């Protein structure tokens, strides 16, 4: 089934719609209810019969009217009673609640998405807080681990090492001409779960579901992609059910030329699509971003949109302490994890300090951040040998050469490889960020020491899923006598403190930033994703919590409000695109950007379907 606008003569679709008594406005109807040019009244399709009932983008399940059943040749193909969406929602929610485990819910929701996307998105939007934890972190992590066992049906596109030389033809196998957002992974660092190869597909699918539900991108305009360049995960390679290529990862020139072929193919078919790089391991993540950021409209979610939300969390945390956002340069921040997310987040913080004009130089900003990896602090090796405390700690393994991004954080005045406890004792940090993928990296001693010096320490264990968080919410509040300003990558429940008060938890996840970024970039048709967009995203989100919420430790609106967050972010990103001259969409005179963005957002509603054989 292909819906194709090109072949439908204007007069024929008008008369077709008119003969059915349907309204139209003076443009050919475009399929996709969120299209701002569409009056949301009709949807024209060349499909008929089971090609409609089996198409998740067209199917309404039981909700086809009798007239529709007649004109679309689906009489008798669905149960006789016409049941509207409210009843369908009741049914699917009941069935969902009957699922015993989060993974069973995940499988149920995937199946719903595969048969009726309108209903799926309505359900998701209505229960965003509850269901984000299923289609996204933490359950999506489990789904990735088990993806080859729970596989039912394909979604998205796979480009593998056996497709070398064929990619520019393969992109035409995708049935939709209009693609606005592509999320692509090579599955090399899936959340904190490591290399999961082709199983990583669940991540782009989950991200794009949030792009639609929160960011209002049209379901038919999103494309999840896996670049299957092999896997080094032995247990997957040895598993007879694994669905990816059965060889180790290709590296070096072979890897980069593979990605290059894919980018070229994608840009030839969808030149305006935004490409979001997702869960690529370090340093590939940075290398690809740097290679393509000025050539195609793209960004790296883990590096850049994580930096927006984490910066927003710190800025809101400052306000929660009664300080000003401009006091950021006075924070002493330990970042545990020196990979894509760690380095990306710290660059965002530094960009903000510089933009606020409160530091004399970028170097001064770097001096406020202490970065660590699994070997300890990025410090001065010359001082390590002389340092007495070094005698007490066994330091294992050789650190590979730090690259120029990480070098910026090396502290010349502190011994290399100090432990977290040692760094905390010496630095007296006000904030600690965890981006390691390793459960328990924030030790009790480190957090208790931190809380001795800072009344309201910012404690952000940001790794996903929850089983890989650097500490839990209970631990953070217990070790700080309930004083922590807490945010985690995956959701944790609020904690009841011994004094009966509530320790508020926040989810600090790039799901707060990427849907709005994508919305703003798509609406403005920005041909470049600029650093200002990420900084402004942080500013917008940091200002969303009310003073009362901040006082009790709530930094962001809840996940239930992700759509409002995306609208606010999307509007600002769109403005930035015009301000910085990277927008290519023409605005009509007098059009309010906020209205254009709002009106462009997809709403999951059934619209009457019209068949036209030449469409």
The catalytic residues are 136, 207
Contact 614, 9 (CB under 8 A): yes
Tokens representing residue 119 in the block: 């209903």
Contact pick of 307, 406, 509, 522 for ligand CC(=O)C(=O)O (by CB under 6 A): 509
Residues 425-464 that bind ligand CC(=O)C(=O)O (CB under 6 A): 464
Residue closer to ligand CC(=O)C(=O)O (CB basis): 562 or 574: 562
Q: Is 287 within any annotated ligand binding site?
A: no
Partner that binds at residue 473, options Mg ion, ligand NAI, ligand CC(=O)C(=O)O, none, CB closer than 5 to 8 Å by kind? none
Partner that binds at residue 441, options ligand NAI, Mg ion, ligand CC(=O)C(=O)O, none, CB closer than 5 to 8 Å by kind? ligand NAI
Residues 6+ apart with CB under 8 A from 149: 241
Kindly state whether residue 195 participates in binding ligand CC(=O)C(=O)O, applying the rule CB under 6 A. Answer: no
Any idea what the Cα angle at residue 576 is, between residues 570 and 577, rounded to 5°?
90
- Per-position x/- string for 294-333, each x denoting binding to ligand NAI as judged by CB under 6 A, each - no binding: --------x---x---------------------------
**Minimum distance of Mg ion from residue 143's CB (angstroms):** 14
SS3 annotation, 399-438 = CCCCCHHHHCCCEEEEECCCCHHHHHHHHCCCEEEECCCC
Residues 6+ apart with CB under 8 A from 481: 451
**Length of the chain measured in residues:** 615
Residues 131-150 that bind ligand CC(=O)C(=O)O (CB under 6 A): 137
When CB distances to ligand CC(=O)C(=O)O are compared, the closest residue is 464
Q: Is 564 within any annotated ligand binding site?
A: no
Partner that binds at residue 374, options Mg ion, ligand NAI, ligand CC(=O)C(=O)O, none, CB closer than 5 to 8 Å by kind? ligand NAI
Contact pick of 116, 464, 480, 537 for ligand NAI (by CB under 6 A): 464
SS3 annotation, 386-402 = HCHHHHHCCCCCCCCCC
Residues 274-313 that bind Mg ion (CB under 5 A): 279, 302
Contact 512, 519 (CB under 8 A): no
Kindly state whether residue 336 participates in binding ligand NAI, applying the rule CB under 6 A. Answer: yes
Residues 268-297 that bind ligand CC(=O)C(=O)O (CB under 6 A): 279
Give dist(CA 159, CA 478) in Å, integer.
Answer: 47
Residues 360-399 that bind ligand NAI (CB under 6 A): 372-374
Contact 45, 3 (CB under 8 A): yes
Residues 6+ apart with CB under 8 A from 597: 519, 520, 523, 567, 570, 571, 574
Tokens representing residue 430 in the block: 């006000």
Query: Which segments of 64-134 are extended strands (E)?
Result: none
Which strand (E) or helix (H) includes residue 488?
strand 485-488
Contact 375, 395 (CB under 8 A): yes
Instruction: List contacts with ligand CC(=O)C(=O)O (CB under 6 A).
Output: 137, 191, 279, 301-302, 464, 489, 509-510
Instruction: List contacts with ligand NAI (CB under 6 A).
Output: 189, 191-192, 281-282, 302, 306, 336-342, 372-374, 435-438, 441, 462-464, 468, 489, 508-510
Instruction: List contacts with Mg ion (CB under 5 A).
Output: 279, 302
């Amino acid at each position: 089934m292909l819906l194709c606008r090109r072949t439908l003569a204007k007069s024929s679709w008008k008369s077709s719609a008119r003969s059915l008594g349907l309204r139209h406005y003076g443009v050919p109807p475009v399929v996709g209810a969120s299209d701002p040019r569409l009056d949301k009244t009709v949807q024209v399709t060349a499909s008929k019969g089971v090609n409609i009932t089996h198409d998740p983008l067209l199917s309404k399940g039981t909700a086809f009217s009798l007239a529709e059943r007649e004109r679309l040749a689906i009489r008798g193909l669905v149960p006789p009673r016409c049941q509207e969406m409210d009843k369908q929602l009741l049914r699917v929610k009941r069935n969902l609640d009957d699922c015993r485990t989060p993974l069973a819910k995940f499988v149920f929701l995937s199946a719903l998405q595969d048969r009726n996307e309108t209903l799926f998105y309505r359900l998701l939007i209505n229960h965003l807080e509850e269901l984000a934890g299923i289609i996204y972190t933490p359950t999506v992590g489990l789904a990735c681990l088990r993806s080859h066992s729970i596989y039912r049906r394909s979604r998205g596109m796979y480009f593998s090492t056996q497709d070398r030389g064929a990619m520019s033809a393969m992109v035409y196998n995708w049935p939709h001409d209009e693609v606005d957002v592509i999320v692509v992974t090579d599955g090399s660092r899936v959340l904190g779960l490591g290399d999961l190869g082709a199983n990583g597909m669940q991540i782009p699918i989950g991200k794009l579901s949030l792009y639609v539900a929160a960011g209002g991108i049209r379901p038919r305009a999103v494309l999840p992609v896996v670049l299957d360049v092999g896997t080094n995960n032995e247990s997957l390679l040895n598993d007879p059910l694994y669905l990816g290529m059965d060889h180790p990862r290709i590296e070096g020139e072979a890897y980069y030329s593979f990605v290059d072929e894919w980018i070229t193919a994608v840009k030839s078919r969808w030149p305006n699509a935004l490409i979001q790089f997702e869960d690529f391991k370090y340093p590939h993540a940075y290398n690809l971003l740097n290679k393509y950021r000025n050539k195609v409209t793209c960004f790296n979610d883990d590096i850049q949109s994580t930096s927006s939300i984490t910066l927003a969390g710190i800025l809101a945390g400052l306000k929660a302490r009664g300080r000003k956002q401009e006091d950021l340069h006075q924070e002493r921040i330990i970042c545990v994890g020196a990979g894509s997310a760690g380095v990306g987040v710290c660059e965002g913080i530094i960009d903000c300090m510089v933009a606020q004009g409160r530091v004399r130089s970028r170097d001064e900003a770097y001096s406020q951040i202490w970065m660590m990896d699994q070997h300890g602090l990025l410090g001065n090796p010359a001082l390590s040998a002389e340092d007495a405390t070094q005698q007490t700690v066994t330091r294992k393994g050789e650190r590979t050469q730090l690259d120029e991004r990480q070098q910026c954080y090396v502290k010349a005045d502190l011994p290399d490889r100090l432990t977290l406890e040692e760094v905390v004792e010496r630095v007296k940090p006000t904030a600690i960020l965890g981006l390691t993928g390793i459960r328990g990296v924030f030790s009790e001693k480190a957090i208790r020491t931190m809380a001795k010096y800072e009344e309201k320490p910012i404690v952000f264990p940001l790794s996903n899923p929850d089983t890989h968080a650097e500490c839990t919410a209970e631990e953070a509040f217990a070790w700080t006598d309930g004083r922590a300003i807490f945010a985690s990558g995956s959701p944790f429940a609020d904690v009841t403190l011994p004094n009966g008060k509530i320790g508020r938890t926040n989810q600090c996840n790039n799901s707060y930033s990427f849907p709005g970024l994508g919305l703003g970039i798509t609406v403005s048709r920005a041909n470049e994703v600029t650093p200002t967009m990420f900084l402004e995203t942080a500013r917008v989100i940091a200002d969303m919590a009310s003073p009362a919420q901040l006082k009790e430790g709530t930094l962001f609106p809840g996940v239930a409000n992700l759509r409002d967050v995306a609208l606010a972010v999307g509007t600002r990103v769109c403005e930035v695109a015009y301000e910085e001259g990277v927008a290519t969409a023409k605005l009509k005179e007098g059009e309010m950007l906020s209205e254009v963005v709002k009106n462009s957002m997809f709403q999951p509603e059934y619209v009457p379907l019209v068949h036209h054989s030449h469409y």
